[in-house]
Amino acid sequence: MTDLIRDLILRWRDDPAATYQSWFLWDERIKNFRSIRRGLQQVVTEIAAGTFGVAYRGSSLETVVHSIAEQRQIFKGADHAFLWKPKLRIPDMYENPVNQKAFGQLLDTCLCCNTEEYVVSAIHAIDARKIKGLGPAVANLLYFLHPTIMPPFNTAIVKGYNALTGSKAKLGRWEEYLAMRQGILKLNATYRSLLSNDLGAIGGLLFDLGSGRYTAPPLEDDETARKLWEADLHQVREQSAKEARILAAERETDHTHTEIQDWLRDLGLSLGYDVWIAANDRSRPWQDGKLGDGCLSVLPGFTTETQGAESVRLIDVLWLDQESRRIVAAFEVEHSTTIYSGIVRMLDLALGSEAQALEGLFLVAPDKREADVREQLKRPAFSRIADLKVRYLPYGALEKDREAIERFGHGMKPIQAISHLLTPA
């Protein structure tokens, strides 16, 4: 059985469309950890101050949960557990201030503590309150705070775990989640050399098993069952090869996230600005050097004590005035499906002391996505987008005009001219 699981993991890791390559190794995944943590800190602050409100829609929690839900297919539908069900009056933490404070205390404890003992103890404390509708789906929030302690959770992951181990874990109860967690930790310890200390990797494997992309190896020592399973695995491998060719063809007709950052870097330098490349991107190999070549190695004014500094340092590209060393423009390149996390990072900048020097916040994305982005901005969670005055800078306009701007442009006016103001309306 051990050898079969090892074979499964190796095949799964090589599959370009499985969660390991499409989500776990996704560049944006790590950046989103910080913006989600920042968003949860805001939820805790609002609950403690009594300003959170009595509804999920339009709340700071909705913004955080949506930034999780956009984390590829594995977290699709993550907001369902938090949506208010008026007939059942669940989850009972919006109109009940005592339960709301208990939820805030859970998040606050997990934000402040880094040990398994404290996190599990906080879960037992919230479970003891028996708050209707507030079950282990909350573990998806906790995963982004403690990825080596708390595995993600959803129906497919539970199904995958049961199929792989022969267990009978159920949905909806914290005690079932904690028991499954122990089993996941043991599995991960056995195959850590093929997986990761980050439990997102094994969570992704279980998701792909539970969602039907892969079939779990047979639990019994049955040669016929084993051959059938190997045939299923071979079929998935052939399908993955087809998907890989489709993905490669799509990439050839599109620009990479790094290429757009390169355009913005060169454009900013040519206009006389200092340029900052996201902290986790600046060492990335690009052409004959690194993406951060010629750019700042330290972001002025953002020390470890500065509120929101970690999030701001992860904004894809920043332009700074060379004399004042203040940030003039911020660019988030949304090459894939995400917009929530990028907006959260820019919000950290817009609400900080550096905001007074800002002349533009730009969401840079493919031309064809503008209508989709405008539609998403109608959500209550983005009610403040008009105040931020975020602009949409399409790839096409940037590609077409960047060389002319480099040669003849001055200041921010050319960039503003080829971008559009984004408002929910």
- How do residues 53-62 score in pLDDT, each as one tens digit? 999 988 889 8
Residues contacting 9, CB < 8 A, separation 6+: 191, 194, 195, 205
What is the full DSSP assignment across 161-179? HHHHH-----SS-HHHHHH
Please write the tens of the pLDDT for every residue from 295-307: 999 998 876 666 6
The pLDDT value given to residue 129? 92
Tell whether the model's pLDDT for residue 1 goes beyond 60.
no
Distance, in Å, from the CA atom of 317 to the CA atom of 5, rounded to the nearest integer, reads 42
The CA-CA-CA angle for residues 184, 189, 195, to 5°, reads: 85
- Residue 95 pLDDT greater than 70, yes or no: yes
Reported confidence tier of residue 345, pLDDT bands at 50, 70, 90: confident
Per residue in 207-239, pLDDT (tens digit) is 999 998 888 888 776 666 556 656 655 665 556
For 127-164, how does the pLDDT look when each residue is reduced to its tens digit (9 = 90+)?
999 999 999 999 999 999 999 999 999 999 999 999 99
Residue 204 predicted with pLDDT over 70: yes
What does the DSSP assignment read for 304-364?
A: TTSTTHHHHTTSSEEEE-TTT--EEEEEEE--SS--HHHHHHHHHHHTSGGGGG--EEEEE
**The predicted structure's pLDDT at residue 228:** 62
Percent of the chain with pLDDT over 90: 48
Per-residue pLDDT averaged across 240-244, rounded? Answer: 60
Q: Report CA-CA distances (Å) from 257 to 26, 85, 123, 251, 305.
A: 12, 39, 38, 11, 30
Please report the pLDDT score of residue 66 as a whole number. 83
Residue 254's pLDDT is 47
pLDDT at 350 over 90: no
pTM over 0.85: no
Q: Mean pLDDT of all residues in the chain? A: 85
- Residue 388 above 50 pLDDT? yes
State which amino acid sits at residue 98.
V
Average pLDDT on 86-91 reads: 90
- The per-residue pLDDT for 398 is 93
H/E segment holding residue 285: strand 285-286
Q: What percent of the chain has pLDDT over 70?
A: 83
Does residue 81 have a pLDDT over 80? yes
What is the structure's pLDDT at 236? 58
Helices (H), 50-115: 60-69, 97-112
Tell me, what amino acid is at 396?
Answer: G
Confidence of residue 253 (pLDDT cuts 50, 70, 90): very low
* Lowest-pLDDT choice from 106-115, 140-149, 196-205, 229-238: 229-238
Instruction: Look at 124-138, 256-270, 283-297, 302-316 and tell me which has the smallest mean pLDDT.
Output: 302-316
Distances (CA, A) of 245 to 26, 232, 238: 19, 20, 11
On the question of pLDDT at 376 being above 80, the answer is: no
pLDDT score for 68: 87
Rounded to whole angstroms, how far apart are CA atoms 322 and 320?
A: 6
pLDDT at 329 over 60: yes
Structure tokens at 232: 């299923």
Does position 206 have pLDDT exceeding 90, yes or no? yes
Q: Among 60-74, 78-92, 289-303, whose mean pLDDT is lowest?
A: 60-74
418 three-state secondary structure = coil
State phi, psi for 360 to the nearest 5 degrees.
Answer: -175, 135
Task: Place 73 in a pLDDT band, splitting at 50, 70 and 90.
Answer: confident
Strand-pair category, 390-394 with 360-365:
parallel
Which of 96-110, 161-175, 243-257, 370-384 is predicted least confidently? 243-257
CB contact at 8 A, 351 and 284 = no
Q: Is-contact 352 339, C-beta < 8 A?
A: no
pLDDT at 91: 94
At 33, the pLDDT band (50, 70, 90 cuts) reads: confident
Asked whether the predicted pLDDT for residue 372 surpasses 80, the reply is no
- The answer to whether 207 and 22 are in contact (CB under 8 A) is no
